Copies of this chain bind each other. A is one copy, B any other.
């Protein structure tokens, strides 16, 4: 009986297969509907077709289809400053009652008076002090909850949108399109790895184990018979510029075949990616849309120059993208 049923099953599966092939003749839906026709879109589609067509010269087996994406300015906006800094400033305010000494101590004193510019006057030293005061000292579980609560409620000062509503719709489509074609998508960001992980799966479809970012050190401890990881006020790794290929190697252990960025902080990642053998894709998002988003070249000058010289894809946000944010769909 089972043998007979199996044979019938095989025949029916054969019919289904033939019918599926018939259905597939219907024109496929546009996988990148928020992208205007143009060089950027066509280059992406052509690349994906070439590396996924069996027996084609540029074919890449699925397990090697690694794509890495910068986050700030590539998957979501980054102006007027990195969104993680807004998080840090909000945390300073929330923690201020427990730190009366901050009233007379820079950079906290200026921050609490609302003078961000003055607080940042100390440059990297000030930023580090703010980050350590707000990102360390708790367990990883506690920090995850703090981030989740913040990201669900905090709003951008200009757009009044939730920060996770300021992700780029065309890039969401691109992520989904690559995954549908067997790619594994990773974030490789200068932002904090534990600041991103609590929400990247829901927002980008990228699970925590595929997020690479900057990190502080953690320490395993048993507290009241419960094992915890405590976040320490010590830099572990800065995942920016030369750090990006280092972070990719440490976390992924193989070279991407496609990489996506927007600034000089992504340049080395694109160099590392394109230096591999076989067909590679490098793409820069160029912020050219002052009306719908922000327009700036600052901090991307070297990357744009090299992209131009090496014929990497440059996305002109104003012309290449029909919409910027998902709400505009």
Chain B residues, Cβ within 8 Å of A222: 271
Report B-chain residues with C-beta under 8 Å of the C-beta of A272.
220, 227, 229
B220 touching A252, Cβ below 8 Å: no
Q: A9-B23, A211-B253, A220-B243 are in contact. List 4 more A-B contacts (CB 8 A).
A: A5-B19, A8-B19, A194-B253, A219-B246
Q: Which of A10-18, A102-110, A117-125, A281-289 contacts B (4 or more CB under 8 A)?
A: A10-18
Residues of A226-253 whose CB lies within 8 A of B: 226-227, 229, 236, 242-243, 245-246, 249-253
Stretch at the interface among A29-37, A171-179, A201-209: A201-209
A275 proximal to B (CB < 8 A): yes
Query: Across the interface, which residues of B come within 8 angstroms of A154, CB to CB?
Result: none
How many monomers of this chain does the complex have? Answer: 2
Which residues of B lie under 8 Å from residue A292 when comparing CB positions? none
Residues in chain B near residue A20, CB distance under 8 A: 9
Give the contact-size bracket for chain A. Answer: 35 or more
**How close is A233's CB to chain B, nearest CB, in angstroms?**
16
Alpha-carbon gap, A251 to B252, bound state (A): 9
- A218 pairs with B23, CB closer than 8 A: no
Distance (Å) between the CB of A3 and the closest chain B CB? 10
Closest to A207 in B: B63
Q: CA separation between A12 and B20, bound complex, in Å?
A: 11
Tell me, yes or no, whether A81 is within 8 Å of chain B by CB. Answer: no
CB-CB under 8 A from A140, the residues of chain B are: 249
Nearest CB in chain B to that of A22: its residue:
B5
